[in-house]
Homo-oligomer: A and B are copies of this chain.
Amino acid sequence: MSATLRFGEGNLQYDAQGRLRHLLSIEGLRERELLQILDTAESFLSIANRSVKKTPTLRGRTIVNLFFENSTRTRSTFELAAKRLSADVLNIAVGTSSASKGESLMDTVDNLVAMQVDGFVIRHPEAGAAHLVVRHLGDSVLVVNAGDGQHAHPTQALLDVFTIRRLAGPIEDRVVAIVGDVLHSRVARSQIHALSILGCPEIRVIGPSTLVPEALSALGVHVYHDLRAGLRGVDVICALRLQRERMVSHRLPSLDEFHGRFGLTPERLRWADPGALVLHPGPMNRGVEIASEVADGAQAVILQQVAHGLAVRMAVLAILAGAAGGE
């Protein structure tokens, strides 16, 4: 995971005045920015319950959803987040665009900047794509990394810690386990950084040794290859989506075997603390990493995560645009 260090996010995310201008990864953020985002998201949650769910925060500004990978959930929440802040939204799904004419990512963003857009939400299959865009553009336009390869997915991690804080209590006091393909997961990577920064006392990662190697302990997490042992005393369980593509790479014998050893079933859920919360970033592979009874059960907070994700993304856009009340 040392690859992340090459990106040097620590400086890249802040503008010359030290204000958060881009959200590229959780790594490199300070606790106070995380808290500002979470607190701002709290204030946006209430808007969702009004019949007119809009604020004029970003009126007249344009946010571009630049997606080089398919996504319903993430694209939709960013689109709704921007629209509820009264921004105009331009959706660009590459594959149906000039990129098929061979234009480079940098030429694409340069052109959109020339159209005076105010921000980019970028999903890209290559790690570091959003960082490269920021290095290229500087601070004139805000950039949110909505998932870059196996590197980072910071708004997912933010909505997860928002959900834990809101539904499971103080993070400084919770034991959190991340279960599944931690090695290749941009979600897990961002979760670990967010939980660490917010003072989570014990972060566990659970999965087969091919997907959760011992070397991960260098990140300050506790590695388990046995689900029962890993869940003991846990307050929050973050399931990861199993990427079926991994099968090809022979890291997994079969989906069935994975489910047999690490799938979250009602019986195994009892190995954790009573009332432990179950999170999943979606979309779920029901019957693989999570049984339907758990996904739809009382301990799952998967749909609350989605609702929180909208509020968190509104908060991120507002703060990066310098338009949040807290600024």
Report A's interface with B, CB cutoff 8 A: 48-54, 59-62, 70-73, 76-77, 79-80, 83-84, 88, 90, 92-93, 96-104, 107-108, 110-117, 282-286, 303-307, 309-310
Other than the given A71-B98, A72-B99, A107-B282, 11 more pairs (CB < 8 A) read A49-B116, A52-B59, A52-B61, A70-B97, A71-B97, A76-B90, A79-B90, A103-B282, A113-B303, A114-B310, A115-B306
Complex Cα–Cα for A285 and B50 (A): 46
A115 near B282 with CB under 8 A, answer: no
CB neighbours of A99 from chain B (8 A)? 72
Nearest B residue to A103 via CB reads B283
Interchain Cβ contacts under 8 Å between A and B, 9 examples? A49-B116, A50-B60, A51-B60, A71-B97, A72-B98, A98-B282, A103-B283, A103-B284, A110-B303
A88 near B97 with CB under 8 A, answer: no
Complex Cα–Cα for A80 and B50 (A): 24
A70 near B101 with CB under 8 A, answer: yes
Nearest B residue to A244 via CB reads B102
Pick from B59, B62, B73, B103: contact of A80, CB under 8 Å: B62
Distance between A91 CB and nearest chain B CB, rounded to angstroms? 9
Taking the full assembly, how many copies of this chain does it contain? 3
- Residues A282 and B111 in contact in the complex (CB < 8 Å), given A52-B59, A88-B83: yes
CB neighbours of A72 from chain B (8 A)? 92, 97-99, 103, 108, 111
Complex Cα–Cα for A190 and B248 (A): 48
Complex Cα–Cα for A80 and B64 (A): 11
A73 near B98 with CB under 8 A, answer: yes
CB neighbours of A309 from chain B (8 A)? 115
Complex Cα–Cα for A110 and B117 (A): 32
CB neighbours of A283 from chain B (8 A)? 98, 101-103, 107
Complex Cα–Cα for A84 and B54 (A): 17
B114 near A303 with CB under 8 A, answer: yes
Complex Cα–Cα for A70 and B48 (A): 31
Distance between A45 CB and nearest chain B CB, rounded to angstroms? 10
Nearest B residue to A295 via CB reads B107
Complex Cα–Cα for A306 and B98 (A): 14
CB neighbours of A97 from chain B (8 A)? 70-72
Find the residue from A72, A80, A283 having the highest chain B CB count within 10 A.
A72
Nearest B residue to A95 via CB reads B96
- Residues A60 and B70 in contact in the complex (CB < 8 Å), given A80-B88, A107-B284, A283-B107: no
CB neighbours of A80 from chain B (8 A)? 62, 88, 90, 115, 117
B96 near A70 with CB under 8 A, answer: yes
Distance between A123 CB and nearest chain B CB, rounded to angstroms? 12
Complex Cα–Cα for A305 and B114 (A): 8
Complex Cα–Cα for A80 and B114 (A): 12
- Residues A98 and B114 in contact in the complex (CB < 8 Å), given A80-B88, A90-B79: no
